Amino acid sequence: MDKKNLFELRKEFLKRELTDMTISGNPFEQFEVWFSEALKLDELEANTMYLATCSADGHPNVRTVLLKEYSAEGFIFYTNYKSRKGKELEENPNATLLFYWKELERQVRIEGITEKVSREESENYFKSRPFESRVAAVVSEQSKVIANREVLNNKFEELKIKFADGNVPRPESWGGYILKPSKIEFWQGRESRLHDRILFTEKGAEWIRERLSP
């Protein structure tokens, strides 16, 4: 595709608006409203979110993860602690989450600090996963170089036999993180690129709400 064709790729956002009268004064309540609407629209994996991290030496990285729980405490996802993201979060616990719900023309951006959830929480979620997903977590040394695909396939089949009784132990290197937000921004697409942006910033025990220029 040439540059001219890329210039012509554009879309008007006409479906909804975000006003000071309709938005909640509590960012977690507002997230609940938007997330529920995304689920009702049968958004494909509405809990898909983009996790951005940064290493200690300043190199950024982003990937897709799945939201597995949220509350006023924060937003929880699970991964391998020895993966690239795990190592980066160990070096620098600051991170950002981004949700994008295309059909609703909405984004939510969440900045905060991460920490590991308790062993009990990780165990409980791990046990709730499908059998083959648990086996895959044992197989994968996430982000490490491997010789070929067969290495994974062979180990996977071996461990399916080994754990045929369904009792798959959670690897110590696998578990959850909670991102505790300090900023939450709600973005609603609007006509002529004059989008609605409402930012909540944590100030002590309160959340300060401000409208941002698009």
Report all structural domains of the chain as residue ranges with CATH numbers, in order of start. 11-130+172-212 (2.30.110.10)
Write the CA distances from 78 to 75, 164, 188, 191, 209, integer angstroms. Answer: 11, 24, 28, 37, 30
Taking only the tens place, the pLDDT of each residue in 14-52 is 678 898 888 999 999 999 999 999 999 876 689 999 999
What is the phi/psi pair of residue 25, to 5°? -80, -5
Euclidean distance between CA atoms 43 and 132, whole angstroms: 25
Residue 58, phi-psi category: left (phi > 0), alpha (psi -120 to 50), beta (remainder): left
Residues assigned a catalytic role: 193
pLDDT, tens only, 117-129: 999 999 999 999 9
Residue-level length of the chain: 214
Torsion from C-alpha of 101, 46, 50, 141, nearest 10 degrees: -160
Give the predicted TM-score (pTM) of the model.
0.90
